[in-house]
Amino acid sequence: MIYKISKDNKYRYVIGEESQNPLFVLGINPSTATDVDFDTTIKKVKKFSLFNKFNGWIVLNIYPQRAKKPDKLDDSLNETQHIENIKEITEIISRYKHPTIWAAWGNTILKRYYLKKCLVEIKNSISMSKPNWISLGDKTQKNHPRHPSRLPYKSKKEEFDIDNYIKNTLKIM
C-alpha cells in the first residue's frame, strides 16, 4: 500500500496499491479515504482496475486538499500544496513506462478557477513518461470525463485525448 499525506492530514497526495501494471486515476480532490478505511470512490476504483485487467491502482488528484464537498475547496490556490502534489505525482508516475491514467474528475474541474491550471501543470510534469490517457463511460454534458462514483462497473473504457480536452473543452493553450 502506498499512502502519502501532509503532516496535518489536510492534504492527500497518493493512495493505492502499487504493482507492475497499476491503473492510475486522476481525480479532482481527495475526500476521507485512508490506507485502512476506503471511501466509495476508492472501492470503485479498486474494482474498476480489476475489471480492466490492471493488477494495482493508484489514485492521484488535480488538487490535494481533502474535502468531502468540492465547494469546500480553497477559494484560491495553495501554491505550496500544489507544488508538493506535482512532486509526488511526478515521482510515482516516472517509475512506469507508458502508464495508463484514467481521467476521472467530472464537472468539478469547473468549481475553482485554479483547477484547470493544476491539471495542465500535472500533465506537463508527467509528459516524459508518455502516459496513455483513458476515460470510462460517457462524458458529462459539459464534456468532462466522469468521476468513478457515478459510473456502472461495465462502463466502456476509451482513449482520452488530454491535449484536445485542454485546448477545446477547458479552452487553454
pTM equals 0.96
**Confidence at residue 102, expressed as pLDDT on a 0 to 100 scale:** 98
24, pLDDT greater than 80: yes
Three-state secondary-structure class, residue 76: coil
**Do 23 and 56 form a contact (C-beta atoms < 8 A)?**
yes
State the Cα–Cα distance between residues 16 and 99, nearest whole angstrom: 14
The string of pLDDT tens digits covering residues 27-82 is: 999 999 999 999 999 999 999 999 999 999 999 999 999 999 999 999 999 999 99
Weakest-pLDDT range from 53-62, 118-127, 128-137, 142-151: 142-151
Q: Are strands 2-5 and 12-17 parallel, antiparallel or unpaired?
A: antiparallel
173, pLDDT greater than 70: no
Please, is 166 exposed, middle or buried when counting C-beta atoms within 10 Å of its C-beta (0-12, 13-18, 19+)? middle
Three-state secondary-structure class, residue 100: strand
Domains, the chain, ranges and CATH? 2-169 (3.40.50)
pLDDT band of 115, cuts 50, 70, 90 = very high
3, pLDDT greater than 80: yes
